[in-house]
Structure 1
Amino acid sequence: MTDDDKPKTSNDNKLMVSKNVTIAVKLNGTNYSVWARLMKIQIGSRRVLRHINGNPPPPEPGAADYTEWEETDLIVFSWILDNIETDIVIDFAHHQTTEALWKSLAVTFEGTSDPFLLFDLEEKAENVKQGELSLETYWRHLHGTWIDVDRCQEKRVTCCDKGVGQFRKYIETRRLFKFLTGLNPKYDQMKREVLKERPWPSAVVAYGWIK
């Protein structure tokens, strides 16, 4: 039995739920992956993950410890609702438990392959330029968009190992070139130095060198 599975005392619960939870982004229907990660960190840090993963299950209604469990569950439920955009909340507030709410959000928003969203993200990545941004901010915007693109892929390549390796190398090269072309002219000499390398480094490695 892990620490998360062990029953908590009333004092434990009061400590865990004594503060409101506010994360950096609200769920808006297109940012589920990062939202869910941030939300899970907040819930887990308060040692109440069992309310979203169903481990262990809630006590039976009428049991001696059910009221305390339900009170805590409602608080965790409210944390999630507080971090969802208002127009989405009304579609999910009817769920009776936090676990049901969490699973419903995952079914609705996780892992869906929206071709329009994927197109928008690819276009966004292509149009990212450093301009007046710092090198770090430029990289953060570009790399974050690539992460969103990868998460939106309908199906990852799973054929032969050689084909997968070639495809990944192709994507790495495309992203290296995109990163370099978006940099300001003051980095031109460094761009040429990067491109002299054989084999070409990944965009992540190139960013590290330039930084």
Structure 2
Amino acid sequence: MVSEQWAVRAGGMDKMAMTGARRDEDLGISETISTSAPITPNPFPVNISESTSLQITTIWLNGKNFLQWSRSALMVIRGRGRLGYVTGTTIKPDESDPTYATWDAQNSMVMAWIVNSMEEDIRESYLYYSTTKELWDALTVAFSDLENSAQLFEFRNKARNLRQGDLDVRQYYNSL
């Protein structure tokens, strides 16, 4: 591992010595920096803090709010770096592969996040899927009304007939 010391001066940066320390004279701060070969990340990194809570959203899937629920759940899943399990881009390795146990644990964790954000009567029907992708696809087919023209007509009518009235701007905007 190679380390270098840098000192910041008014005239720029001067390379000092190979000690592993850096000093910023203007701020009176010194810190240790080092350079080494890049570390290859685990393809299925485990973050213990993400497993402490199975509730990923305050919005519970109730059968009528799939669009709002799915957007909220996907934001958290994406933020935790696990969107590939939902989309299917994180491929299930062979059971003989050394990464299988980690993949299986993380797939199960994402499935638990999703299932635990559903109302109980819906949850029971979705406990038996083996992958997050299968679970998400089944939920999308069952609850997504994006292609339902009657519902789109209803939404357009509500938006067209909505008036601000006694609502403040924030409430009116959220209603839209």
Same topology, TM > 0.5: yes
Within a 5 Å distance, the mapping from 1:31-50 to structure 2 comes to 31-50=65-84
The residue that corresponds to 2:138 in the other structure is 104
2:122 counterpart residue number: 88
Matches within 5 A, 1:115-130: 115=150, 117-118=151-152, 120-122=154-156, 124-125=158-159, 128-130=162-164
Report SS of the residue matched to 2:167: coil
Corresponding residue of 2:171: 137
Within the candidate set 51, 59, 75, 1:25 is matched to 59
Q: Alpha-carbon deviation of 1:22?
A: 3.1
**Contact conserved, 2:50 with 2:80, CA < 8 A, in 1?**
yes
Q: Paired residue for 1:63?
A: 97
> In 2, are the aligned partners of 1:21 and 1:42 still within 8 Å (CA)?
no
Deviation, structure 1 residue 122? 4.5
| Cα distance change of structure 1 residues 27 and 45 upon mapping to structure 2, 3 Å threshold | same
Structure 1 residues 23 and 56, CA gap change in structure 2 (3 angstroms): closer
Distance across 1 between alignment mates of 2:58 and 2:158? 21
Change (3 A) 1:15 1:99: same
Residue 120 of structure 1: CA displacement?
Answer: 4.5
Distance 1:61 1:26 in 2: 34
Gap change, CA 1:28 and 1:43, over 3 Å in 2 = same
Number of matched residues?
A: 135
Whole-angstrom distance in 2 between the partners of 1:25 and 1:16? 18
1:127 and 1:88 map into 2 onto residues whose CA distance is 33
Q: Which has the higher helix share?
A: 1
- Post-superposition offset of 1:112: 3.4
Structure 2 counterparts to residues 164-179 of structure 1, below 5 A: none
CA contact (8 A) 2:85 2:107 kept: yes
Q: What root-mean-square deviation, in Å, do the aligned CA atoms of Structure 1 and Structure 2 show?
A: 2.5
Larger Rg: 2
CA distance in 2, matches of 1:112, 1:31: 15
Among 148, 151, 161, the residue aligned to 1:113: 148
Counterpart Cα distance in 2 of 1:84 and 1:65: 30
Q: 1:115-174: CA deviations, max 9, x gaps?
A: 2x3454345445644344212202211x2xxxxxxxxxxxxxxxxxxxxxxxxxxxxxxx
Structure with greater proportional strand content: 2
Uncovered stretches (5+) of structure 1, i.e. residues with no partner: 144-211
- Partner AA of 1:44 in structure 2: R
Report the identity percentage: 27
State the match for 1:7 in structure 2: 43
TM-score (norm 1): 0.55
Contact 1:17/1:72, CA 8 A, preserved across alignment: no
Matched, 1:74 2:103: no
Residues 104, 61 of structure 1: alpha-carbon distance in 2 compared, 3 angstrom cutoff: same
TM-score, scaled to structure 2: 0.64
